Amino acid sequence: MSWLLDNFTLVTELALQHARLSAVPIVVGLLASISLGWLAHRVRAARLIVLTSFSLIFTVPSLALFVLLPLVLNTRVLDERNVIAAMSLYAIATMLRGAVDGFDHLSPGVTRSATALGYSPTGLFWKVQLPLAGPVLLANLRVVSASTVSLVSVGALIGKGGLGYLFTNGFQRNHPTEIVVGIVAVLLLALSFDVVLVLVGRAALPWIRNLGGTSPT
């Protein structure tokens, strides 16, 4: 406990870095999964290409990605953008199939009657199809959030891993307390991300609490 108090500034700094390194890929993952997922939902040829390529990316070990990305992005090996890019790719790979499923399983009856009301294709997407895919997107996003927060720690191997530093450093110094503090901090961070997502989801998708909630009169 005294270790934590002595190093509180360091832990806070690492936690903030960890939060930043996680938040960007989560947002990128969401936006890219919606766009690519919609493309895959609409265009049969795109579906195979997009889904297959992200399945393949998922099989590349993270450490190998850290080595490869500087070559592709023309960044320095120790640049934190490498971590953000790698985490974004994993986030998309995790979420994409769920997003496609979410769009695939929209009720054709609702889409048809909304079209008959006179929604334009753009209006239909923003006002009807995207909100209705919301619950599925949110469920997938929560998985992405948890896995990203935990995966970012691996970035410590190239010096940009937020709280992951406490693992590598604690291991090198044979200092279990530091490692335990790191684990608890990562868990708390993942938990707070999840709470934020649930609250945002509740505000954005108010109707899902009322699906069959009260009996009709």
Partner 1 sequence: MIEFVGVTKTYDGGAPAVDNFSLRLAPRRITALVGSSGCGKTTLLRMINRMVDPTVGRVEIDGEDIAGRRPVGLRRGIGYVPQDSGLLPHRRVIDNISVVPLLNGATRAAARLRASELMAVVGLDPALAHRYPAQLSGGQRQRVAVARALAGNPNILLMDEPFGAVDPIVRADLQQETLRLQHELRKTIVLVTHDIDEAFLLGDEVVVLRPGAQVAQHGTPADILADPADSFVAAFIGSARGKRRLTISAQRSVDGADRVVVDAGGYPVGVIAAPEGRLPVADPTPRSRGAQVVG
Residue 77 sits at the vertex; the CA angle it makes with 75 and 80, to the nearest 5 degrees, is 75
Stretch that binds partner 1, among 41-49, 77-85, 188-196, 205-213 (CB under 8 A): 205-213
Instruction: Tell whether residue 58 is a contact of partner 1 (CB under 8 A).
Output: no
Site string for partner 1, 4-43 (x = CB under 8 A): ----------------------------------------
35 versus 120: smaller Cβ distance to partner 1: 120
Cα 170 to Cα 153: distance, rounded to the nearest angstrom? 13
Which 115-134 residues touch partner 1, going by CB under 8 A? 115-120, 123, 128, 131-132, 134
61 versus 216: smaller Cβ distance to partner 1: 216
Instruction: Tell whether residue 113 is a contact of partner 1 (CB under 8 A).
Output: yes
CB within 8 A of 35, min separation 6: which ones? none
| Nearest approach, Cβ of residue 99 and partner 1 (Å) | 18
Q: How far is CA 186 from CA 87, 152, 191, 208, in A?
A: 16, 10, 8, 30
Stretch that binds partner 1, among 7-15, 68-76, 147-155, 208-216 (CB under 8 A): 208-216
61 versus 212: smaller Cβ distance to partner 1: 212
**Which among 57, 212, 211, 188 has a CA at the least distance from the CA of 134?**
211
Instruction: Tell whether residue 216 is a contact of partner 1 (CB under 8 A).
Output: yes
Instruction: Tell whether residue 114 is a contact of partner 1 (CB under 8 A).
Output: yes
Cα 210 to Cα 41: distance, rounded to the nearest angstrom? 28
Give the one residue of 105, 112, 173, 202 binding partner 1; rule: CB under 8 A. 112
Asked if 140 and 98 count as a contact pair (C-beta separation under 8 A), the reply is yes
| Nearest approach, Cβ of residue 137 and partner 1 (Å) | 13
Cα 117 to Cα 198: distance, rounded to the nearest angstrom? 32
Give the one residue of 1, 2, 9, 212 binding partner 1; rule: CB under 8 A. 212
Cα 124 to Cα 102: distance, rounded to the nearest angstrom? 15
134 versus 159: smaller Cβ distance to partner 1: 134
Asked if 66 and 157 count as a contact pair (C-beta separation under 8 A), the reply is yes
Cα 103 to Cα 144: distance, rounded to the nearest angstrom? 18
* Contacting residues toward partner 1, per CB under 8 A: 107, 109-110, 112-120, 123, 128, 131-132, 134, 205, 207, 210-214, 216-217
